[in-house]
């Protein structure tokens, strides 16, 4: 390296794939980004988003100082002024109405930071509010709930063992664009190609011919929201043709006979007319899953964001169990992250929901939170327990949650709002105070969430590349100061006191006396690693800039099971009841035109549209319409169309394409950067339209409270 140029390695924090990046750094800026070819997990893979890592940190619109709203304008202030404003705004509300008068929303990027993983839970506890909402009820809560009932813990999520499977059935997943979700797999496309190269197959079920579907051995179109019917048809076939074989799982599963009874109503001929997958192919899939040496069923966003989301997620793993593919190499397996320990023995308290209910709609709590689909109700509806103040951490619910137009209006009526966020965006424009954390290059990184979902066990820690911005504040300190404010210790209390108390508690709990690390998050990580499954330390990870490979996934049943019985409980009563509801839905009339979302490789929800390299070129925010529907509705390619649902309406440019099946239209999510008061210069030039103006907050998956974002009935006409 010349002239002070150096190379730095770090894990990309932008999506769940956890790729290793090799960064060229000169003069205090990142001058080059490429995949780290020596990284133990990603082996040089990088996507266009990771390649813009430097662009994000250099974004001139990224906030570097706190902002306070004065006279309708956001102005920069000192940190002391900002925290004093939080104290003045929040404390009177808490003292008058109590902690539940403050709602919190946690966005997806929270799980991509160490501070989010370590300090948000203590903040919510200090607030003492049950009005906790997050992106989990936008797109993934059904998987937590189904795993909670099946395995006893909502965090016991099995992932497809991509590197060893012979047959993969994917539903509602598009990893060629998303790079995977609830399955951390850097170079997901490469791992899919490798299945084919070793003589295996992968099949995609999706209402759209996605890029993943194009590369698949087979693509089956399916009516949006009907995956549960297809999957029950497969279960029916497995029983009817004597293909059920639990193998090693036999002594660890209960409810197989009950399952056979539930599946009787869902013969392939019966469900075929609902989901539009031929009965012969449903039978064929069941036979392939049963006959393959190893096989895995993997469902993602499209299977969660529907009315029967939890039932669908449950059926995915039911099939993995019935074919003997749960917890065996080449099937679906439970990762074991370096900061976690295996359980001493199977069995536990199990999983339950509804420990409390939302005030207005009476929706049950799930995993400590309420459905974000009812957030606007809680803000708008007067009475005891009304939400009067709002805290967001790394979230943009005005673009990402159902009927977001209503939420946008509701936020304008709050008494006080504070946001921990690097952007003045469509949501934080409502905030009285915005507290921006340091950029990703200025803080350490370890994936608490995604290493527990990785398709191969590994660990990596990335130290900061640059010193903190002068006048910037680390997110651990920001969250610690908020904890101190809401717990009544004042705006000027020293966050170090809280950091030390948290560390002492972690050491006491784990019995780890030794600790190293420069920052509070690093020290907590070090304690967790030392107590973890592999006995690593932070120093071990610092010494391994390309990560530490911990080997292929290992069987974890029965130890991983936390159900009261210590077994896989296949037929928990809530799911049995939901299966009856699905049976009744067999005779529902088919809806007319329905809307689904879609994903693009250069986009990640709502927050990466301000990077020029990611949004350049042809607009991707189009309404995809099948040629037959376009003809019938007199819609022309490139022309605007008016789209209306129960929740709202918008105008979008039509793209006529046979990538969507007849009767289905598709808009990407995360767009709509045209609100006043936003500081996203690049995004505002290409605002797109917000698909969540059309999604309906009144329709949810009842077991998980998850939003229904796919299969929204719409009417369309030329604009």
Which neighbouring-strand residues pair with 717? 642
46-54, 117-125, 219-227, 311-319 -> range binding ligand SF4 (CB under 6 A): 46-54
Q: Shortest Cβ distance from residue 59 to ligand SF4 (Å)?
A: 16
47 touching ligand SF4, by CB under 6 A? yes
Q: Which of 25, 30, 40, 46 binds ligand SF4 (CB under 6 A)?
A: 46
Minimum CB separation from ligand SF4 for residue 179, in Å? 4
Residue ranges in 469-488 that form contacts with ligand SF4 under rule CB under 6 A? none
**How many Å apart are CA 34 and CA 23, to the nearest integer?**
7
Contact between 213 and 206 (Cβ < 8 Å): yes
The footprint of ligand SF4 on this chain (CB under 6 A) covers a number of residues equal to 12
Q: For ligand SF4, what does the binding mask look like between residues 12 and 31, x meaning CB under 6 A?
A: x-xx-xxx------------
DSSP 422: S
Q: How far is the CB of 15 from ligand SF4 (least distance, A)?
A: 3
The 3-class secondary structure across 269-308, one letter per residue, is HHHHHHHCCCHHHHHHHHHHHHHCCCEEEEECHHHHCCCC
Shortest CB 701 distance to ligand SF4, Å: 27
Question: Cα angle vertex 593, ends 592, 598, to 5°?
Answer: 145
Shorter beta-carbon distance to ligand SF4: residue 53 or 314: 53
d(CA 327, CA 567): 13
- Nearest approach, Cβ of residue 392 and ligand SF4 (Å): 23
User: Which of 485, 524, 532 is CA-nearest to residue 502?
Assistant: 524
How far is residue 550's CA from residue 687's CA, in Å, rounded to a whole number? 43
CB-nearer residue toward ligand SF4: 341 or 600: 600
Q: Smaller CB distance to ligand SF4: residue 14 or 234? A: 14
162 binds ligand SF4 (CB under 6 A): no
Q: Is the dihedral of CA 365, 369, 372, 376 positive or negative?
A: positive
Give the Cα separation of 375 and 576 in Å (integer): 29
- Is the Cβ–Cβ distance between 49 and 602 less than 8 Å? yes
Taking the C-alpha atoms of residue 719 and residue 644, their distance in angstroms, rounded to an integer, is 11
Q: 333: helix, coil or strand?
A: strand
Q: Which is nearer to ligand SF4, 117 or 309 (CB)?
A: 117
Q: Least Å distance between CB 596 and ligand SF4?
A: 23
DSSP 591: P
Question: Toward ligand SF4, which CB reaches closer, 191 or 523?
Answer: 191
Rounded Cα gap, residues 270 and 50, in angstroms: 46
Please, what is the minimum distance in Å from the beta carbon of residue 17 to ligand SF4?
Answer: 4
State the minimum distance, in angstroms, from the CB of residue 177 to ligand SF4.
10
Judged by CB, which is closer to ligand SF4: 37, or 509? 37
Binding mask 270-309 for ligand SF4 (x = CB under 6 A): ----------------------------------------
Query: Which residue's Cβ has the minimum distance to ligand SF4?
Result: 50
50 binds ligand SF4 (CB under 6 A): yes
Question: Residue 182 and residue 163: Cα distance in Å, rounded?
Answer: 16
| 12 vs 486, beta carbon nearer ligand SF4 | 12
- In whole angstroms, how close is the CB of 18 to ligand SF4 at the nearest point? 6
Alpha carbon separation from 557 to 115, 146, 456, 562, 591 (Å, rounded) = 31, 17, 17, 10, 42
Least distance from ligand SF4 to the Cβ atom of residue 615, Å: 15
Among 39, 49, 283, 300, binds ligand SF4 (CB under 6 A): 49
Q: Of 47-55, 314-322, 387-395, 439-447, which segment contacts ligand SF4 by CB under 6 A?
A: 47-55
String marking each residue 549-578 x if it binds ligand SF4 according to CB under 6 A: ------------------------------
Yes or no: say if 667 and 650 are a contact pair by the CB < 8 Å rule.
no
Q: Which is nearer to ligand SF4, 351 or 450 (CB)?
A: 450
Binding positions for ligand SF4, 645-664, rule CB under 6 A: none
Judge if the upstream peptide bond of residue 414 is cis by omega within 30 degrees of 0: no
Q: Which residue in 222, 314, 316, 236 sits closest to 268, CA to CA? A: 236
Reported as half-sphere exposure (CB side, CA atoms, 13 A), residue 47 has a value of 28
**Residue 558: is the preceding peptide bond cis (ω within 30°)?**
yes
CB of 540 to ligand SF4, least distance (A): 22
Q: Which is nearer to ligand SF4, 14 or 145 (CB)?
A: 14
Most distant CA atoms of the chain, gap in Å: 72
Judged by the rule CB under 6 A, the positions of this chain that interact with ligand SF4 are 12, 14-15, 17-19, 46-47, 49-50, 179, 186
């Amino acid at each position: 390296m010349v002239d002070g140029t150096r190379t730095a390695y770090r894990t990309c924090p932008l999506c769940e794939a956890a790729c290793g990046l090799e960064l060229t750094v000169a003069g205090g800026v990142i001058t080059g980004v490429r995949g780290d070819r020596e990284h133990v997990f990603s082996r040089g893979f990088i996507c266009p988003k990771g390649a813009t890592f430097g662009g994000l940190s250099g974004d001139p619109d990224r906030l570097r100082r706190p902002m306070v709203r004065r006279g309708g304008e956001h102005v920069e202030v000192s940190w002391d002024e900002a925290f004093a404003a939080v104290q003045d705004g929040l404390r009177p509300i808490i003292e008058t109405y109590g902690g539940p008068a403050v709602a919190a929303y946690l966005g997806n990027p929270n799980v991509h930071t160490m501070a989010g993983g370590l300090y948000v839970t203590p903040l919510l506890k200090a607030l003492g509010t049950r009005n906790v909402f997050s992106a989990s009820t936008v797109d993934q809560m059904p998987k937590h709930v189904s795993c909670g009932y099946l395995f006893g813990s909502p965090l016991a999520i099995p992932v497809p063992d991509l590197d060893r499977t012979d047959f993969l059935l994917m539903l509602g997943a598009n990893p060629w664009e998303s790079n995977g979700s609830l399955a951390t797999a850097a170079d997901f496309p490469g791992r899919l190609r490798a299945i084919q190269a070793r003589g295996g197959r992968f099949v995609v079920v999706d209402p759209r011919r996605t890029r993943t579907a194009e590369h698949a051995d087979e693509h089956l179109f399916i009516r949006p929201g009907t995956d549960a019917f297809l999957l029950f048809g497969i279960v029916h076939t497995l029983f009817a043709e004597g293909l059920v074989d639990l193998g090693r799982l036999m002594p660890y599963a209960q409810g197989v006979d009950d399952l056979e009874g539930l599946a009787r109503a869902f013969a392939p001929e019966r469900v075929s007319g609902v989901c539009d997958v031929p009965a012969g192919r449903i039978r064929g899939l069941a036979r392939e899953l049963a006959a393959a040496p190893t096989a895995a069923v993997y469902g993602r966003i499209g299977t969660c964001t529907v009315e029967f989301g939890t039932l669908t997620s449950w059926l995915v793993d039911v099939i993995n169990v019935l074919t003997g593919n749960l917890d065996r190499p080449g099937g679906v397996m439970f990762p074991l992250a370096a900061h976690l320990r295996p359980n001493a023995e199977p069995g536990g308290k199990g999983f339950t929901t509804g420990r409390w209910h939302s005030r207005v709609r009476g929706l049950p709590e799930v995993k400590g939170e309420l459905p974000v689909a009812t957030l606007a109700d809680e803000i708008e509806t007067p009475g005891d327990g009304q939400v009067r103040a709002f805290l967001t951490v790394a979230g943009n619910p005005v673009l990402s949650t159902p009927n977001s137009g209503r939420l946008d209006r509701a936020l304008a009526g709050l008494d006080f709002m504070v946001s921990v966020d690097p952007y003045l965006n469509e949501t934080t424009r409502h905030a009285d105070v915005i507290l921006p954390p340091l950029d990703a290059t200025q803080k350490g990184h370890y994936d608490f969430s995604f290493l527990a979902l990785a398709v191969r066990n590994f660990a990596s820690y990335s130290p900061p590349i640059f010193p903190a911005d002068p006048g910037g504040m680390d997110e651990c300190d920001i969250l610690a100061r908020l904890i101190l404010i809401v717990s009544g210790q004042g705006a000027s209390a020293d966050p170090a006191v809280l950091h030390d108390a948290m560390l002492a508690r972690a050491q006491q709990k784990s019995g780890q006396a030794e600790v190293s690390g420069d920052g509070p998050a690093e020290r907590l990580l070090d304690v967790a690693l030392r107590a973890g499954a592999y006995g690593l330390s932070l120093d071990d990870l610092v010494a391994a800039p390309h990560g530490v490979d911990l080997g292929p996934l290992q069987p974890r049943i029965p130890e991983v099971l936390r159900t009261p019985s210590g077994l896989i409980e296949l037929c928990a009563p809530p799911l049995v009841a939901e299966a009856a509801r699905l049976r009744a839905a067999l005779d529902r009339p088919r809806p007319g035109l329905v809307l689904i979302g879609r994903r693009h490789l250069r986009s990640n929800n709502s927050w990466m549209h301000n990077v020029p390299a990611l949004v350049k070129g042809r607009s991707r925010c189009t309404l995809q319409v099948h040629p037959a529907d376009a003809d019938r509705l007199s819609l022309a390619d490139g022309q605007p169309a008016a789209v209306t649902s129960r929740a709202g309406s918008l105008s979008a440019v039509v793209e006529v394409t046979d990538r969507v099946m007849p009767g289905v239209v598709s808009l990407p999510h995360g767009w709509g950067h045209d609100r006043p008061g936003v500081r996203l210069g690049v995004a505002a030039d290409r605002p797109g339209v917000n698909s969540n103006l059309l999604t309906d907050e009144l329709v949810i998956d009842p077991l998980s409270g998850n939003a229904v974002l796919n299969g929204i009935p719409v009417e369309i006409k030329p604009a």
